[in-house]
Amino acid sequence: MAREQPKTGTGKHRGLDEQLAHVMAHHIRVKALTIFADRTASPKEVARELRESLNTVSHHVKQLHDMGLIELVDEVPRRGTVEHFYRSVMRPILNNAEWEKLGLPERQQISAWLVQLIISDAAKAMHAGTFDVRLDRHVSRAPLVVDEEGWREIVEINAEALDATLRVQEASAERMAKSGENGIYISSSILCMEMPAPKRASAD
């Protein structure tokens, strides 16, 4: 199951699994949606970053907008034209039933997209010097060997941790709305995946 925190809004025309399959069918849509999930941007900015033609990128941005995955947030006059700025309004959360409807290639593409976002977040924090500024920041890696029951238990633990994290965010939003306190921008990532068996040294 692939999960990421939702923002607001829902897709307009397709079920979530169909939307994701359509997005993943073209690399420009995948890369553009990754950019919009990270920040507000215009098709011109996306085209420049991806080194693609503006017409091509605008076509794929329109598809993302038609599916309700991004929203128009600003219009800025630019030398007789108007530059449109978009941001992501939906980040994928798939339950087990939706995840099972996708084929292995689609699941692999979605997972690659999410891992790309995680790596991008970590790289930005490292570059900005915020990654280790807090003494209580958490980073852990735990290579394990478990049986099938243990695998299921760990997956459930990770899912519960995400649910608890989202509840903390909701409570924080309510408190900040009352107090006016500035928010702390963070990225909380959870990974649990099967690894290939380690290679054993051959006997002499």
Q: pLDDT at residue 31 above 60?
A: yes
Residue 123 has a pLDDT of: 87
- 93-150 pLDDT tens trace: 566 777 787 788 778 877 877 787 788 788 889 999 999 999 999 999 999 999 999 9
Residue 195 has a pLDDT of: 92
CA distance 89 to 77: 24
Residue 29 has a pLDDT of: 86
Residue 76 has a pLDDT of: 92
- 43-100 pLDDT tens trace: 999 999 999 999 999 999 999 998 888 899 999 998 888 999 998 875 555 667 777 8
Q: pLDDT at residue 2 above 70?
A: no
Q: How confident is the model at residue 12 (pLDDT cuts 50, 70, 90)?
A: very low
Q: Nearest 10 degrees: CA dihedral of 62, 66, 71, 77?
A: 40
H/E/C letters for each residue in the chain? CCECCCCCCCCCCCCHHHHHHHHHCCHHHHHHHHHHHHCCECHHHHHHHHCCCHHHHHHHHHHHHHCCCEEEEEEEEECCEEEEEEEECCCCECCHHHHHHCCHHHHHHHHHHHHHHHHHHHHHHHHHCCCCCCCCCCCCCCCCCCCHHHHHHHHHHHHHHHHHHHHHHHHHHHHHHHHCCCCCCCCCCCCCCCCCCCCCCCCC
Q: pLDDT at residue 6 above 90?
A: no
Residue 7 has a pLDDT of: 44
Q: pLDDT at residue 164 above 80?
A: yes
Residue 80 has a pLDDT of: 84
Average pLDDT over residues 181-195: 91
Least confident of 15-19, 38-42, 65-69, 178-182: 15-19
Tokens 């941001």 belong to residue: 87
Q: Which of the two residues, 71 and 30, has the higher pLDDT score?
A: 71
Q: Which of the two residues, 88 and 19, has the higher pLDDT score?
A: 88
Residue 172 has a pLDDT of: 94
Q: Which of the two residues, 153 and 36, has the higher pLDDT score?
A: 153
Tokens 């699994």 belong to residue: 17
CA distance 125 to 88: 21
